[in-house]
């Protein structure tokens, strides 16, 4: 539980750590060759217990998430926020005539939790088209409550986004200003800039050529890495340890606050014998199989996941000294957990701790015998890129 003084201190630290978001007081003309984007005006509304520092954090975080999604998010300058926060909805819609969407943000809090609600209004027509809410514990990652809200809002407003972008595209082609309404302070604050906005370090600009004005989701992930294999104690007389190199290709999708990835993997592995010419017929293995990974939401740089892999390893080792004939295909399964760290929007690394099971089979007196090889892949380091 954070006491009021500590909560204020935590909010101040968040303001220092969260990337800055521009507040504008005058309109700037868009670049002639810029692809139009839907414009969103963000206005915080009063609701329950309010801490000014918390409100700034949540408003800035919402602006950043919308910019990542491909919208031109605008926040009125601080001098106007208090007046607009208490203004009736009719006035806000009138002030936002040159924006496409009005985002109304409201939060309430208790001693331990914070609850955020966001409503989206279509300025043209004055219709409420979406709403979403989320809660989380008050701590130094308070701004992460915004991510699930935006994920829930985007599917609801996607058809309206496409319509808004098409309208702006037609107006741009006809060289007609987006709006003929008198310039009001809040309306001026929501116009697009002449030059692309500088983004904080570690962020990339969304692709504004997307048909619906949204940044394309990078659903394809390619990873490569390697690690070691430590056999169970009872296998010590046969194997000292093993090695592996792995390449995977996965398709990613979001399930609310979780991220699911599934795909295929392959690589090269081997088990080193404890003594020369003893169990040396597992020195070259080529694994191939399916991979499934379920992790936490990827709105923060650090995440956790569980990974399951199942397939088979092709034994390419020489077997001229083997008394019993070994099968060339070894069923394989892996399971475990790991941590991931985003180094950039497209690049990152993960550290996995996996339990591995291999089954090798051979014929003995006309009977098929199955023997397990069990151990741990600790650790396995992957570097990945998302396309």
| Digit-coded pLDDT (tens) for 184-219 | 444 444 444 444 555 555 455 544 444 444 445 568
d(CA 160, CA 99): 13
Phi, psi of 296 (to 5 degrees): -75, 170
DSSP of 241-264, one letter per residue?
A: EEEEEEEEEEEEEEETTEEEEEEE
Domain tally, the chain: 2
From the CB of residue 123, how many other CB atoms can be counted at a distance below 10 Å? Answer: 24
Contacts of 308 (CB under 8 A, 6+ apart): 291, 292, 293, 333, 334, 335
Do 227 and 176 lie in one domain? The reply is no
Assess whether 95 and 179 both reside in one domain: yes
**What CATH number is associated with residue 168?**
3.30.160.100
* 236/376 same-domain check: yes
Statement to judge: residues 171 and 267 lie in one domain: no
Domain membership flag for residue 117: yes
Assess if residue 195 is contained within a domain: no
Shared domain for 233 and 173, answered yes or no, is no
Cα atoms in the 13 Å half-sphere on the side-chain side of 322: 17
226-255 pLDDT, tens digit each: 999 988 877 766 777 889 999 999 999 877
185 and 264 fall within a common domain? no
- Residues 374, 247 within the same domain: yes
Domain range for 181 is: 4-189
Q: Per-residue pLDDT tens for 105-134?
A: 988 888 788 889 999 999 988 899 999 999
pLDDT bin (cut points 50, 70, 90) of residue 85 is confident
Please name the residues in contact with 136: beta carbons below 8 A apart, sequence gap of 6 or more. Answer: 113, 114, 142, 144, 145
The verdict on residue 197 lying in a domain is no
Please indicate, yes or no, whether residues 148 and 248 belong to a single structural domain of this protein. Answer: no
pTM: predicted TM-score of the whole model, two decimal places? 0.51
User: Do 178 and 242 belong to one domain?
Assistant: no
Q: How far apart are CA 68 and CA 70, in angstroms?
A: 5
| Residue 240, domain member (yes or no) | yes
Nearest residue to 10 via CA among 179, 181, 150, 139: 139
Same domain, residue pair 176 and 321: no
pLDDT tens, position by position, 8-54: 545 554 544 444 444 544 444 444 456 788 999 999 887 655 566 67
For residue 209, tell me if it sits in a domain.
no
Separation between Cα atoms, residue 181 and residue 187, nearest integer Å: 9
**285-296 vs 302-315, strand pairing mode:** antiparallel
Residue 196 lies in a domain: no
Query: What sign results for the dihedral spanned by CA atoms 93, 114, 38, 184?
Result: positive
């Amino acid at each position: 539980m954070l006491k009021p003084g500590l909560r204020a201190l935590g909010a101040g630290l968040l303001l220092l750590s969260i990337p800055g978001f521009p507040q504008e007081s005058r309109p700037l003309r868009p670049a002639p060759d810029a692809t139009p984007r839907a414009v969103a005006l963000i206005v915080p509304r009063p609701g329950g217990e309010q801490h000014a520092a918390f409100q700034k954090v949540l408003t800035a975080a919402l602006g950043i998430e919308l910019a990542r999604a491909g919208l031109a998010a605008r926040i009125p300058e601080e001098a106007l926020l208090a007046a607009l926060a208490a203004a009736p909805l009719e006035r806000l819609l009138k002030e936002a005539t040159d924006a496409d969407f009005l985002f109304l943000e409201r939060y309430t809090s208790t001693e331990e939790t914070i609850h955020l609600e966001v409503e989206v209004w279509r300025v043209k027509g004055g219709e409420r088209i979406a709403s979403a809410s989320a809660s989380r514990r008050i701590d130094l990652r308070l701004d992460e409550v915004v991510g699930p809200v935006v994920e829930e809002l985007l599917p609801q407003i996607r058809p309206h986004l496409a319509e808004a972008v098409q309208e702006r595209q037609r107006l741009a082609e006809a060289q007609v200003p987006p709006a003929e309404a008198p310039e009001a302070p809040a309306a001026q604050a929501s116009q697009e800039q002449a030059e692309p906005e500088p983004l904080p370090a570690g962020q990339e600009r969304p692709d504004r050529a997307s048909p619906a004005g949204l940044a394309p989701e990078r659903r394809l992930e390619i990873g490569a890495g390697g690690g070691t294999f430590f056999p169970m104690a009872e296998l010590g007389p046969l194997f000292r340890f093993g090695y592996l190199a792995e390449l995977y290709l996965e398709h990613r999708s979001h399930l609310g606050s979780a991220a699911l990835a599934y795909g295929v993997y392959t690589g090269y592995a081997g088990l080193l014998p404890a003594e020369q010419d003893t169990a040396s017929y597992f020195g070259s293995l080529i694994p191939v199989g399916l991979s499934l990974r379920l992790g936490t939401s990827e709105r923060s740089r650090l995440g956790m996941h569980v990974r399951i892999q199942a397939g088979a390893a092709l034994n390419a080792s020489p077997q001229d000294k083997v008394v019993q004939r070994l099968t060339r295909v070894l069923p394989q399964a892996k399971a475990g957990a790991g941590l991931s760290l985003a180094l950039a929007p497209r690049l990152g690394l993960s550290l996995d701790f996996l339990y591995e099971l291999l089954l090798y089979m051979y014929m003995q007196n006309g009977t098929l015998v199955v023997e397990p090889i069990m151990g741990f892949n600790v650790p396995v380091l992957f570097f990945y890129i998302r396309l």
